[in-house]
Amino acid sequence: MNIVVCVKQVPDTGSERTLKAADSTLDRESSDALINELDEYAIEEGLRLAEAHGGEVTILSMGPPKASESIRKALSMGADKAVHLVDDGLAGSDALATSEAIAAVLGRIGFDLVILGSESTDARMGVLAALLAERLGVPQLSFASKVETDGQTIKIHRQADYGYDKVEASLPAVLSVVEKINEPRYPSFKGIMAAKKKPVETLSLADAGVDPARVGLAASASEVVSFAKRPPRQAGTIVKDEGDGGGKAAEFLAAQKFI
Amino acid sequence: MAEILVLAEHSGETVKKVTCELLTLARRFGEPAVVWTGPGAEAGRDRLAEFGAAKVYVAAGEEFDDYVVAPKAELLAALVAAGSPAAVLVASTPEGREVAARLAVKTGSGLITDAVGIGDGLVAEQSIFGGAIVVKSRVTAGTPIIAVRPNATTPEPSPGAAEIVAAGTDVSDAAKGARVTERVVQEGGERPELTEASIVVSGGRGVGNAENFALIEKLADALGAAVGASRAATDAGWYPHQFQVGQTGKMVSPQLYLAVGISGAIQHRAGMQTSKTIMVINKDAEAPIFELADFGVVGDLFSVVPQLIDEIQQRSGS
């Protein structure tokens, strides 16, 4: 099975993240960059499916040159090779433009199954699986907490507020996974050493056959009007429990008309 | 006046609160027209009329619910092409955002997700990076498609005709790629949905084990609240994963959020920071969650929470 796992490099969620004043895009310099932690579950699922059914796992990432660090991390977990779509013309792409570029690369390299994390921890839109399925004309299997495949058909549990839906489709398909699905492996020392020799193909927009007019900040279908830091919350009332903490909490709730 | 399409979220005949919120927003920008998929529209119509729906486009076929997302996007695209609405509003739930995304591709439109408000000129306000930054943005191509976070708007009644109009009943083969074979309802069914609830009670590491979550549930039930959990609690297997609130879980903005035994790692704060009122119960006075608290109790949750439950029950009984 030819499995492609999409990986995004994001700013560390533990650091202070901000936007650039000039163009309201993500300030990638202000915080450390890491692999999107939810993508690690996608990599793990890809590796498990390849181990069970045979085949190759290819990592696909779109991002600046620095994203190669996240690609190596993914390769060190055990993926076979990688494709890095990197081009200055991609800077500032919104989700729609991003999906157009990634769909073009997927069309070029081919796939039986594309796997994504459920969302990126920076933009948090959770729509790339739907966008890729729409553009590629293949089934959308998103928010999976369980996956089974025989190489022809695929069955998942799609997470829902009330529990889950059982969903099935034929391959090829686009799959996104939630963190409940597995426990991602840590790269072994051997894996880290092996990753340094694994092939990473670098593609420009021209290589991928993407029209530069359809990606990047200028092609985005929405624009930021303004942004500002949220004013800090006003300090609240903190009481120490001296046997009456529950009562005081109830008084507060009553004063606020919650009870 | 141009139409504003509102994709209804409903559970059978029951219209979800977020749909009333979307109608309240939509009235400010045009004539609200609800898009309803699957059965139940006749029964849900009164509620839609109460919140100002002028029309209800109904695609009653079961098959709109039998396939993942694509049929709804296809239906909306047909309605956008036919009626040139001024905007399309959906709930910013995982599925709502996916419908919006596919619709954006089909109609060549811009997409804004997780809006917490919409102002003049359809400028949407978003709260990003765990609530640290407020961004205002607008769609510049096609028909603005905006996914609005549940609980971000107060629903206000205003009567409408809610005229039922039959809409496209066929789902194309292309939209039938991913078939739903069964819906499995798990525990927590009696409580309000986490992202819709006006009050959320969440437990964290301080709760200690799965059995003790019964205390969190008891407090939630006393308040008519939904139950949430921090990642520490869901990772430990104390509470099901779908109830996780935080950076990698659900984002909630209830009227009242009670954080019980939660230290307030950035991971958790990112999911609840935009709550209107925040109450904290934690034995560690240094826990960062107290920085967000409108009211905090420093104390052992196993003595504070039972007392709080008693007080609530006494007050509601009197």
Residue B66 has pLDDT above 80, yes or no: yes
When CB atoms are compared, the residue of A129, A159, A244 closest to B242 is: A159
DSSP, collapsed to helix, strand or coil, labels residue B305 as helix
Amino acid (1-letter code) at residue A184:
P
Q: Would the CB atoms of A252 and B105 count as touching at under 8 Å? A: no
Whether B42 and B160 share a structural domain: yes
Q: Which residues of B touch A250 (CB under 8 A)?
A: 307-308, 311-312, 315
Host domain of residue B245: 199-317
Instruction: Identify whether B189 is part of a domain.
Output: no
Whether B210 and B312 share a structural domain: yes
Instruction: Identify whether B187 is part of a domain.
Output: no
* Helix residue ranges, H only, chain B: 17-26, 41-50, 63-66, 70-83, 94-107, 213-223, 231-235, 266-272, 301-317
CATH of the domain at B228: 3.40.50.1220
Query: Is residue A231 within 8 angstroms of chain B, CB to CB?
Result: no
Q: What ipTM describes this predicted complex?
A: 0.92
* Spatial separation of the C-alpha atoms in residues B19 and B34, rounded to whole Å: 9
DSSP, collapsed to helix, strand or coil, labels residue B220 as helix
Edge-to-edge strand order for the sheet containing A113-117?
Answer: A200-203, A81-85, A56-62, A2-7, A113-117, A173-177, A140-149, A153-160, A163-170, B179-185
Whether B222 and B148 share a structural domain: no
Q: Which residues of A touch B137 (CB under 8 A)?
A: 222-225
Residues 134-153 of B with CB under 8 A from A: 134-142
The pLDDT value recorded for residue B318 is 47
The pLDDT value recorded for residue B270 is 87
Q: Which residues of B touch A140 (CB under 8 A)?
A: 68-70, 98, 177-178
Q: Would the CB atoms of B266 and A13 count as touching at under 8 Å? A: yes
Instruction: Identify whether B194 is part of a domain.
Output: no
When CB atoms are compared, the residue of A24, A221, A241 closest to B109 is: A221
Whether B212 and B171 share a structural domain: no
CATH top-level class of A2-219: alpha beta
Tens digits of per-residue pLDDT, A152-165? 999 999 998 888 99
The pLDDT value recorded for residue B48 is 98
Tens digits of per-residue pLDDT, B208-251? 999 999 999 999 999 999 999 999 999 999 998 889 999 888 98
Mean pLDDT on B308-316: 92
Tens digits of per-residue pLDDT, A124-160? 899 999 999 999 999 999 999 999 999 999 999 999 8
Stated as kind and residue range, the H or E segment containing B36 is strand B31-37
Instruction: Identify whether B191 is part of a domain.
Output: no
Instruction: Identify whether B25 is part of a domain.
Output: yes
Residue A25 has pLDDT above 90, yes or no: no
Q: What is the pTM of this model?
A: 0.90
Beta carbons of A129 and A103 less than 8 angstroms apart: no
* Per-domain boundaries in chain A: 2-219
Beta carbons of B101 and B90 less than 8 angstroms apart: no
Q: How many CB atoms within 10 Å of residue A122?
A: 19
When CB atoms are compared, the residue of B95, B106, B305 closest to A246 is: B305
Amino acid (1-letter code) at residue B244:
Q
Instruction: Identify whether B11 is part of a domain.
Output: yes
What total of structural domains would you count in chain B?
A: 2
A15 vs A109, residue with greater confidence: A109
Size of interface A-B (CB pairs under 8 A): 277
Q: Would the CB atoms of B294 and A134 count as touching at under 8 Å? A: no
Instruction: Identify whether B24 is part of a domain.
Output: yes
Query: Is residue B310 within 8 angstroms of chain A, CB to CB?
Result: yes
Q: Would the CB atoms of B303 and A241 count as touching at under 8 Å? A: yes
Q: Which range (A17-26, B56-65, B183-192) has the least confidence?
A: B183-192
Distance from the Cα of B310 to chain A's closest Cα (Å) equals 9
Helix axes B17-26, B41-50, angle to 10 degrees: 50
Q: How confident is the model at residue A20 (pLDDT cuts 50, 70, 90)?
A: confident
Residues 6+ apart with CB under 8 A from A187: A73, A76, A77, A195
CATH of the domain at B48: 3.40.50.620
Q: Which residues of B touch A222 (CB under 8 A)?
A: 110-112, 137-141
The pLDDT value recorded for residue B188 is 61
DSSP, collapsed to helix, strand or coil, labels residue B256 as strand
A91 vs A161, residue with greater confidence: A91
Domain boundary, last residue among B161, B176, B191: B176
